[in-house]
Each structure stands twice: as C-alpha cells, then as structure tokens.
Amino acid sequence: MDIAVWITYIGVIAALIAFPGPSSLLITLHGYQYGLRRSNVTIAANTLGSFLLMFLSVLGLGLILSSSEFVFQIAKYIGAVFLIYIGVKTWRQSASSASLFDIKGDVPLESAAAMFSKGFLTGVSNPKDLIFFAALFPAFLNQEAPLILQFAVLVTTWLVVDYSIKLLYAVSGRALREKFSQASFAEKFNKITGGLFVCIGLALAGANR
C-alpha cells in the first residue's frame, strides 16, 4: 500500500472514530465511574466489536444489509433496543445516590464480564457500520496489489487508531471524575449519558440505510 494512501486513510478514520457516538459515550462513562485501568476492558471489547464488523463486511454481509431492507431493519431494531436499554439502566443508576455512591462518589464495580459485554454489544449495535466498512475499504485498495495484505494493513491500522482514540475518551472521563467527584455531579452525569443513549437508540430505530 502506498504510504500517501495509508496516511490519508489514517486521517479519515481518526476523524470518524473521534466523532462522538454510543461507543465513545460508554467509554467516557466507564472512565468516569471506574477509572482508566478498568475501562480498558470496555475499550478492548468495543474494538473487538469493530473487528467483527470489519470481518463480516469483508465476507460480504455489508452488501447483504445494503440490499435487503428486511435484514437491515431487524439488525437495526436489535441495536436500537440495546442502546435504549443501556440508557435506561444508566439513568436509573442515578435514582438513589445513597445506594450508588459512597462518600467519595464511588459506584459499585461492574464485573469485567458485564463491562466487556456492554463494550462489545455497543460496538456491534449499529448495522450501518457494516455498510460503512463495505464502502470504506474499496476506496483505499489497489486492485493490482495483493488484497489480503492490504486488508490486513487497513484492519490493523483501524484497530490501533480505534483503541488509541477510545483510550483518550476514557482519560477524559477519568479527568471529569478527578475534577467533579461529588455524588450530585455523578448523578447528573448518569442522567445525561443515559438520556443520550436513549436518544441515540431512538435515532437508530428511525434511521434509514
């Protein structure tokens, strides 16, 4: 792969990944609640979800979703329901500060498995991503060069950039925690992030291909 094409690809995907969405919202929330070290579980799971979508896209599932309205709608509503569920659960966490926060504003730790499942399922919740990957990769492929090697470079680059940027979201969440550790702020933060998850889920449910 030409170095200029690769650098362009890095710039494009960095801008796309950095744009706020459900994954960055979840990682920021976990960074705020649980700190940077535990948030790595969520980040790794979310990045694994991206890898799965890329793999399925390469296999042709993205083309199936783009051509089948029924399959797309089913996948879309499943993703929307999950995001709304996360939003409602996050919102309800703030209902009783006495049961959720100790004197330092800590919340009960979720298990690593629970954090992993949230990160992974959020990463695969939007079927549009499959169509996106199916459209993105061909723009950076050289048909005269070995495709497998190029796919390996594109996917590996995405995973590294994806993980790095999401790590910054966790850092920002942790920074918020250090500056605003009061239980009252944590309650408001949960309400805001929970409401945003619900809005994103509703937007996904109403989205077209």
Model pLDDT for residues 163-208, shown as the tens digit of each residue: 999 999 999 988 887 766 556 566 676 677 777 777 767 776 775 6
- Helix 147-179, helix 22-59: angle, nearest 10: 170
The position carrying tokens 């470079």 is: 153
Q: Please report the pLDDT score of residue 151 as a whole number.
A: 82
Model pLDDT for residues 119-157, shown as the tens digit of each residue: 998 888 766 677 677 767 777 777 677 878 888 898 899
**Dihedral sign computed on CA atoms, order 61, 2, 166, 209:** negative
Q: Please report the pLDDT score of residue 149 as a whole number.
A: 86
Q: Please report the pLDDT score of residue 100 as a whole number.
A: 39
Radius of gyration of the chain, Cα coordinates, nearest whole angstrom: 18
Q: Please report the pLDDT score of residue 199 as a whole number.
A: 79
Q: Is 35 left (phi over 0), alpha (psi -120 to 50) or beta?
A: left
Enumerate the domain spans of the chain. Answer: 3-205
How confident is residue 94, by pLDDT bands cut at 50, 70 and 90?
Answer: low
In the chain, count H helices and then E strands. Answer: 9, 0
pLDDT greater than 70 at residue 18: yes
Q: Please report the pLDDT score of residue 163 as a whole number.
A: 94
pTM score, whole prediction: 0.68
How confident is residue 102, by pLDDT bands cut at 50, 70 and 90?
Answer: very low
Q: Please report the pLDDT score of residue 95 as a whole number.
A: 42
Q: If we measure between CA atoms, which residue out of 84, 80, 109, 104 comes closest to residue 185?
A: 104
